């Protein structure tokens, strides 16, 4: 019996397709939640976060809330509800680190840098604070000190995927593309292939080099791991498709962005070009 090509293709790729279902996590209000080291959102005022796309199987769930000790819990295969109980902390280094994270989220960069340094002074072996400091210093264009912070993080935690991803971003800001690519690749290895920040970083470097087809591949890898938690990457993907003159694919990416972030910062600009892109995708001639 001969099998059709489509069915054969399905047999090949089916083992790699992971079923996804919703997951509800309960903890403290306004707690940040990571799943397998990927930030997935923040709990609401009642302490609940429902995620619609989480692959079946075992996962590591990390939860952090101001005033509490950060906790990591295991999500066993088949469970769709997880309660993560946090314990209040009086650790001055942890509390200062949380202040620094809050300041960075509010784009109070110099204040954040000072708070990270205070946390590190209280606890010299604090790789997460070093990486947070590196992120802020990168944004302040203090690249030498940013690299020093990454080096300090690695002295405590040599295999640190997030640190390598941030290092790659620093190198890209310095226009050292080859060094950036090496750091992003290291990050992906250290993360066991799961490191969307590094895939996006790789894509941006490839775009800098004019290699847009390759960049598209990296954006799609990141999106597959983020489960629609970062709509802006669809905007980046759409722009890359435009550069390689694939309007149909660009339209699909942009429409996904609008679906996820209808009031996002790129929404108005995307809506203004979608009509023209759809005409191009349909093969209509555009009259200037």
Q: 51 versus 267: which is more confidently predicted?
A: 267
pLDDT digits (tens, 9 = 90+) for 174-211: 999 999 999 999 999 999 999 999 999 999 999 999 99
- State the pLDDT confidence band at 104, using cuts at 50, 70 and 90: very high
122: left (phi over 0), alpha (psi -120 to 50) or beta: alpha
Q: Which of 124, 158, 192 is the last residue of a domain?
A: 158
**Predicted pLDDT at 266:** 94
**Predicted pLDDT at 176:** 97
CB 252 within 8 A of CB 230: no
> 65 lies in a domain?
yes
Q: 14 versus 191: which is more confidently predicted?
A: 191
76 and 94, same domain (yes or no): no
**Predicted pLDDT at 37:** 81
95 and 151, same domain (yes or no): yes
For residue 14, pLDDT beyond 90? no
**Predicted pLDDT at 233:** 95
> 141 lies in a domain?
yes
- State the pLDDT confidence band at 227, using cuts at 50, 70 and 90: confident
65 and 29, same domain (yes or no): yes
DSSP state of 193: T
235 and 259, same domain (yes or no): yes
pLDDT digits (tens, 9 = 90+) for 17-74: 456 678 899 999 999 998 888 888 899 999 999 888 777 778 889 999 999 999 999 8
282 and 236, same domain (yes or no): yes
For residue 219, pLDDT beyond 80? yes
CA dihedral defined by 253, 104, 175, 142, rounded to 10 degrees? 170
Total number of domains in the chain:
4
> 2 lies in a domain?
no
Other C-beta atoms closer than 10 Å to the C-beta of 262 total 10
Q: Which of 158, 188, 214 is the last residue of a domain?
A: 158
120 and 146, same domain (yes or no): yes
For residue 221, pLDDT beyond 60? yes
For residue 288, pLDDT beyond 70? no
Sheet harboring 20-26: ordered strands across? 48-55, 20-26, 81-83
pLDDT digits (tens, 9 = 90+) for 115-171: 999 999 999 999 999 999 999 999 999 999 999 999 999 999 999 999 999 999 999
> 3 lies in a domain?
no
**Predicted pLDDT at 11:** 41
Q: Which of 41, 60, 83 is the last residue of a domain?
A: 83
C-alpha–C-alpha distance, residues 161 and 73, integer Å: 20
> 250 lies in a domain?
yes
> 259 lies in a domain?
yes
For residue 15, pLDDT beyond 50? no
pLDDT above 70 coverage of the chain, percent = 91
**Predicted pLDDT at 41:** 87
**Predicted pLDDT at 189:** 97
How many residues does the structure list for the chain? 288
**Predicted pLDDT at 9:** 40
**Predicted pLDDT at 19:** 60
212 and 254, same domain (yes or no): no
> 150 lies in a domain?
yes
**Predicted pLDDT at 53:** 75
58 and 110, same domain (yes or no): no
C-alpha–C-alpha distance, residues 132 and 135, integer Å: 5
C-alpha–C-alpha distance, residues 278 and 249, integer Å: 10
CATH of the domain at 51: 2.60.40.1120
> 58 lies in a domain?
yes
Look up the pTM and report it.
Answer: 0.84
Tell me the torsion sign for CA atoms 65, 227, 251, 215.
positive
Which residues span the domain enclosing 128? 90-158
H/E stretch holding 33: strand 32-35
Q: Which of 10-14, 79-83, 239-243 has the weakest average pLDDT?
A: 10-14
Six token digits for residue 175: 């226009």
pLDDT above 90 coverage of the chain, percent = 75
């Amino acid at each position: 019996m001969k099998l059709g090509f489509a069915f054969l293709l399905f047999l090949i790729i089916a083992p790699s397709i992971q079923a996804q279902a919703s997951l509800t996590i309960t903890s403290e209000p306004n707690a940040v939640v990571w799943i397998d080291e990927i930030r997935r959102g923040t709990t609401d005022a009642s302490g609940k976060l429902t995620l619609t796309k989480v692959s079946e199987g075992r996962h590591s769930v990390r939860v952090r809330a101001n005033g509490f000790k950060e906790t990591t819990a295991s999500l066993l295969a088949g469970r769709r509800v997880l309660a993560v109980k946090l314990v209040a902390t009086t650790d001055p280094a942890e509390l200062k680190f949380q202040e620094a994270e809050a300041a960075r989220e509010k784009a109070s960069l110099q204040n954040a840098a000072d708070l990270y340094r205070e946390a590190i002074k209280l606890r010299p072996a604090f790789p997460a604070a070093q990486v947070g400091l590196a992120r802020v210093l990168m944004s302040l264009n203090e690249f030498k000190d940013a690299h020093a912070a990454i080096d300090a993080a690695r002295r405590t935690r040599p295999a640190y995927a997030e640190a390598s991803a941030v290092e790659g971003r620093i190198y890209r800001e310095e226009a050292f593309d080859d060094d950036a690519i090496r750091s992003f690749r290291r990050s992906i290895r250290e993360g066991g292939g799961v490191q969307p920040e590094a895939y996006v970083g790789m894509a941006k470097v490839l775009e800098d080099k004019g290699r847009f087809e390759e960049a598209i591949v990296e954006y799609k890898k990141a999106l597959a791991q983020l489960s629609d938690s970062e709509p802006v990457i669809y905007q980046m993907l759409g722009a890359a498709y435009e550069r390689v003159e694939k309007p149909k694919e660009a339209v699909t990416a942009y429409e996904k962005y609008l679906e996820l972030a209808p009031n996002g910062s790129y929404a108005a600009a995307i809506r203004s070009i979608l009509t023209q892109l759809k005409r191009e995708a349909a093969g209509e001639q555009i009259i200037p």
